[in-house]
Amino acid sequence: MSEKKEARITAQKQAVLNSFQGQSLTDAQTDIAMNLASIINRHIHKTGSFREPLTDYAHAFARSEKFDAMKGETIIRDVFAAQFGQTMNVTRETLMEREKNLPETTPELALQSARQTLEAISTGETEPFYKAYDREGSALARSLSITENAAKALMSESYHAVEGRELYATGKELEEKYHRPRMDELRKSRETTRSRVVARA
């Protein structure tokens, strides 16, 4: 872990310890609450929502502690605000607002991300569509400060507008043509190697 990242994490934990709820938490509870807050933050940046995961994790947190789920949710909300400097709702609203005010270059950037997705499936080491699509969607989301779901939608829309085809369908076709044969070959190679090892035993 880099010194910069370690310092950021230390600062976040200190902010949590100084928060209203954080002051009454044990060290283990603090670490758990911070990890849950990080998961929810990741979920917000992926989907733009947090209600369901917050409810689920608050119940899970409370089951191993001496407080109810409502208290667990209050703790996670407070820890989140201290850890990330803003509430879950503000985090979500900020992402939603940015989606309404995208730069003029957005379609071009989204198209580039879509094409990079297809290139990753069909060249070099190759990879499945879902993995390439997710990685490029995440990168585009970070560059535009929007949710990953919104970024992926932009990629699909931009590709369809220019190519007249669905990005998903094109990606799956390339996966079947390039990635699956490579995986089949690797699988056969492993099975052959395993058979030789067994034969020698």
- pLDDT, one tens digit per residue, over 6-47 is 677 688 999 999 999 999 999 999 999 999 999 999 999 999
Please give the tally of structural domains in the chain. 2
User: Are 145 and 87 contained in the same domain?
Assistant: no
Neighbours of 12 (CB within 10 A): 18
CA–CA distance, 138 with 153 (Å, rounded to integer) = 12
Residues 106 and 181 placed together within one structural domain of the fold: yes
| pLDDT reported for residue 199 | 62
Q: What is the pLDDT of residue 198?
A: 63
Could you tell me which residue, 75 or 192, shows the higher pLDDT?
75
Return the pLDDT at 190: 84
Q: Residue 185's pLDDT is what?
A: 87
Going by C-beta distance under 8 Å and a sequence separation of 6 or more, which residues neighbour residue 72?
57, 58, 59, 61, 62, 65
- Are 145 and 88 contained in the same domain? no
Residues 6+ away with beta carbon under 8 Å from 22:
16, 30, 33, 78, 79, 82
Residues 80 and 128 in one domain: no
CA distance 18 to 22: 6
**According to the model, what pLDDT value does residue 1 have?**
55
Same domain, 136 and 84: no
Residues 55 and 139 in one domain: no
Residues 180 and 157 in one domain: yes
- Please, which pLDDT band fits residue 192 given cuts at 50, 70 and 90? confident
Could you tell me the CA-to-CA distances from 191 to 127, 177, 179 in Å, in that order?
Answer: 21, 22, 18
87 and 112: one domain? no
Structural domain including 17 reads 3-97
Report the C-alpha gap between 131 and 172 in whole angstroms.
12
End-of-domain residue from the set 56, 82, 97: 97
CA–CA distance, 13 with 182 (Å, rounded to integer):
45
pLDDT in the model for residue 200: 66
Q: 179: pLDDT confidence band, cut at 50, 70 and 90?
A: very high
Pair (84, 25) in one structural domain: yes
Q: In terms of domains, do 181 and 126 share one? A: yes
The span from the CA of 109 to the CA of 154, in Å, is 9
Q: Do residues 133 and 116 share a domain?
A: yes
User: What is the per-residue pLDDT across 82-109, written as a single tens digit (0 to 9) for each?
Assistant: 999 999 999 999 999 999 999 999 999 9
The yes-or-no verdict on residue 3 having pLDDT over 80 is no
Q: Do 88 and 110 sit in the same domain of this protein?
A: no
- Of 97, 116, 143, which closes a domain? 97
In the listed set 97, 121, 153, which residue is the last one of a domain according to the structure?
Answer: 97
pLDDT in tens, 37-60: 999 999 999 999 999 999 999 999
Q: How many CB atoms lie within 10 A of CB 191?
A: 10
The 10 Å Cβ neighbour count of residue 68 is 13
